[in-house]
Amino acid sequence: MEKEISYKTYKVLVEAISDFCVSANQDFNIKSSEYLINGKFAYIIENSSVVKMLEDGVISENELEDIKAFLQAHPEYLEKYFGDYKLELASEYDNNIGIIRFWRFSELADNSYRERYAIPASTVKGILKTGFLSFFLNSADYKYGRVGNKKRLQLMLLKPNNLKDKAKNTQQLYEILINQNDVKKGVHLYKLVGENTWKEINEIDNIILSTENMLFRNIICSDLVVKDGRFVVKKVNRISRVNKKSATLQYIELAQKGSLFEGEIKEVNHLKDLPVNMLSFLYYKDLNYPENLNLIDICREGLKKFSKKIIEAERKHFAQRIKDLNPQNSEFYDTLLSEVENEEIIIKLGRGGIHAKSFMSFDSNNLSKQDFFPYTINVDDADKLPIGWVKLRIEEEKR
C-alpha cells in the first residue's frame, strides 16, 4: 500500500522596496575585459557571437587577438552580434571594473535557450529557516575573536523563549535551533533538575541530523521568477560606518524598486515521518498561538519578528552615516517600520541571500559594540539610500 502524502501549496511574492541583487554566492561577475560600454548599455563579448562574426567574414583571425579594440573601432556590430547579451546601465560609466550580475537560469523555449532572472530556491529556503529560528528566539550570544589569521564573528548560543515550558523537549528544541551552516559552533544542552532548576549537561560540536533538517526536507521551494521589473547596472558604494573618508565603488546589476518575483512553496506531510501538528510542543504557551500552527505559519510569524529587529538594528548603526549622505534616510526606515506595523514581512537580501548573520540583532548585550555589526553597507550612488530591502508575502493557495 502506498504511503498517503498530503501537501499544501503557498504562493510566494517578493516586491523590491529598494533596488537589490541576489547571486546566491555564485561567480556571476563579468570582468572589465569581458564587456564593452556603448551609450547606456554594456555589451558582453560572448564567444559564440565572436565565432559568428568570424564565420560571417566580419573579422579576420588576426583581429581575434584584440576583439575588444575591433569593436571599439566598429561599434555598429555590437547590437547585431551582442544585442542578446547587453545590460542596461543607469548612466554611461567608465569601463574599468567588473559587473556583479543578478542570479538567473537558462530555459529552453522555441528551440533556443533564454535567460530568466530569479531568486533561487535555496535563498527561499534560507529565508524560511531564518523565520523558523526567529520564531523561538528570545536572545542570542555572539563572540568576536580571532580564528586563525582572521577575526570572525561566531554565533555561540541561541536562547529560545519560555524555555521552562519545554522541559521535556529540550534536546529536540536545541537540535532545531542549531545553525546548520556552522555546525561546529557548539550547542549547549540542559536538563531539568528538580522543579525549576536547570543544569547544563553537555555541549554538542556537530549535530548532523537535526529536527530542523527533518522538518525542512518536507518543504519544496521553487525559484521565484521575475514577473514584472527591470534590471539595471548601477554604481553602488560600499560605505563603512566607521571610516567616512572612503567608499568602495561597485557595478551591480540590480532589480529595480517595484520589481515583482513569484514562485511557490509546497509543504509536504509524510504521515509516517513527523506529523506537522507535533510542532505544537515547541510553541505551547508562547504568545497564545493556536496549537495547529504549521511549519509555514511558524516561519511567517518568525519573519515578522525578525523584520522589526533587523530594521531597527541597521537604523541604529547606519542611520547617522547615511544621513550624512541623504537627510531623507529617517523617512526610509520609518517606511520600512510602518510596513512591519501593518503585519508585512520586510527582509534584507544580499548577494548570498537573506542576511542570516543578522541574528546578531537578537544579541542585546553586544549590539551596541562596534565589533558586533557589519562594518559596511551597500548604498546606491545616486540616491544615497541602502539597497537590498524587499517585502515578502506567503499565501496559501486553496484547493
What is the residue extent of each domain of the chain? 5-25+122-396, 32-94
- Cα separation, 154 vs 359, in Å, equals 11
pLDDT at site 191: 46
Q: How confident is the model at residue 8 (pLDDT cuts 50, 70, 90)?
A: confident
- AA letter at 172: Q
Tell me, what DSSP letter sits at residue 373? S
pLDDT at site 282: 45
272 compared with 249, residue with greater pLDDT: 249
Could you give phi then psi for residue 278, rounded to 5 degrees?
Answer: -70, -10
Lowest mean pLDDT among 80-89, 211-220, 282-291, 311-320: 282-291
Q: Best-predicted range by mean pLDDT among 113-117, 261-265, 298-302, 349-353?
A: 261-265
pLDDT at site 248: 82
Q: How confident is the model at residue 34 (pLDDT cuts 50, 70, 90)?
A: very high
High-pLDDT (> 90) share of the chain, %: 36
Q: What are residue 220's DSSP bridge partners?
A: 266
307 compared with 202, residue with greater pLDDT: 307
Residue with cell 510569524: 301
Cell of 124: 527561499
CB count within 10 Å of CB 243 equals 11
pLDDT at site 389: 95
| Interval 165-203: pLDDT, tens | 433 344 444 444 444 333 333 344 444 455 555 454 444
- Give yes or no for residue 324 having a pLDDT over 70: yes
CA 23 from centroid of its chain's CA atoms? 9
pLDDT at site 285: 44
The region, left, alpha or beta by phi > 0 then psi within -120 to 50, assigned to residue 344 is beta
- Cα separation, 267 vs 372, in Å, equals 36
Q: Best-predicted range by mean pLDDT among 15-24, 139-148, 254-263?
A: 254-263
pLDDT at site 281: 39
**Average pLDDT value for residue range 194-218:** 51
| Interval 328-374: pLDDT, tens | 788 889 999 999 999 999 999 988 777 655 677 777 777 666 565 66
**Average pLDDT value for residue range 44-63:** 92
Could you give phi then psi for residue 107, rounded to 5 degrees?
Answer: -135, 150
CA 308 from centroid of its chain's CA atoms? 16
- Give yes or no for residue 257 having a pLDDT over 70: yes
pLDDT at site 322: 75
Buried b (16+ CB within 10 A) or exposed e, 60-73: eeebeeebeebbee
- Give yes or no for residue 262 having a pLDDT over 80: yes
